[in-house]
Amino acid sequence: MSAVPEDHNQQLRLLEAILFASADPVGEEILQERFGAAVKVRDLLLELQLLYENRGVNLVAMGGRWAFRTAPDLGEYLRSETEVAAKLSRAAVETLAIIAYHQPVTRAEIESIRGVATSKGTLDILMETGWIKPGRRRETPGRPLTWVTTPHFLDHFGLETLRDLPGVEDLRAAGLLDSRPAVSNLPGLAEKATAEADG
């Protein structure tokens, strides 16, 4: 642990940085320990609090622990429909990946690729994310609905076009897919395999 700067202003800056970066409110005694007995942490805290008094962010003390919080009077501007980030299930992520790679793809095809039934909820959840939408109906008996990804999907994942999705060979080369043991490892075959893989 590096020592604490001697300069008063530097101490103030360090305190500011510590409180900013901390995930939880920091207890005053912990700060006092961090800065050493020679530094009056309480004075530093009060000075910093004054500095932020009329700002968009305030330094507040809660039961002896200190933290930055957005100013309460801004609440009306900051509040909005609060959506809690929900984690997608593994099935949903896999279904999304399969739609991305195999689109347009019907639900029956997704199930046949995944080898398990796809619950109705999975596609609903994915549709709520705005990443997939129904595509054209397949011109086969029963005219099943197909699923495709949306422009928002490309946007979210930072892809310009669907063609930029890495192919299976790219995934393998990147280490995202274990390579099958192949005859290609035999000398003399390797060059050929490469030529094919690299096209």
Partner 1 sequence: MTDSPSTDPFDQGPERATAGDGLPDAADGPALVLDIDGFEGPIDLLLLLARDQKVDLTRISILQLADQYLAFVETARRLRLELAADYLVMAAWLAYLKSRLLLPDPQEEEPSGEELAAALTFQLQRLEAMQGAAARLLKRPQLGRDVFARGAPEDMPVLETRVHDLTLYDLLKAYGDHKRRQMQSGPLRIAATELYSIEDAIRRMEDILGRLPNWTSLAAFLPPGWKAGGVRTRSALASTFVATLELAKSGRLELRQDGPFSPLYLRTPQP
Residues 60-99 that bind partner 1 (CB under 8 A): 67-72, 75-88, 90-91, 93-94, 96-98
Total binding residues for partner 1 by CB under 8 A? Answer: 79
The HSE-up count of residue 87 (CA atoms within 13 Å, CB side) is 2
Among 53, 182, 194, 197, binds partner 1 (CB under 8 A): 182
Among 57, 97, 116, 168, binds its own copies (CB under 8 A): 57
The interface with its own copies within residues 11-30 (CB under 8 A) comprises: 12-18, 20-21
Task: Report if residue 122 touches its own copies, rule: CB under 8 A.
Answer: yes
Q: Are 142 and 135 in contact (CB under 8 A)?
A: no
Task: Report if residue 38 touches partner 1, rule: CB under 8 A.
Answer: no
Please state, in angstroms and rounded to a whole number, the distance separating the CA atoms of residues 148 and 124.
13
Task: Report if residue 165 touches its own copies, rule: CB under 8 A.
Answer: yes
Among 6, 84, 86, 163, binds its own copies (CB under 8 A): 163
Which residues, 6+ apart, have CB-to-CB distance to 198 below 8 Å? none
Which residues, 6+ apart, have CB-to-CB distance to 100 below 8 Å? 149, 153, 162, 165
CA angle 131/125/174 to nearest 5° reads 50
- Minimum CB distance to partner 1, residue 105 (Å): 11
Among 27, 36, 64, 121, binds its own copies (CB under 8 A): 121
DSSP assignment of 70-82, as one string? E-GGGHHHH----
Which residues, 6+ apart, have CB-to-CB distance to 188 below 8 Å? none
Among 49, 103, 135, 154, binds its own copies (CB under 8 A): 135
Among 142, 174, 198, 199, binds partner 1 (CB under 8 A): 174
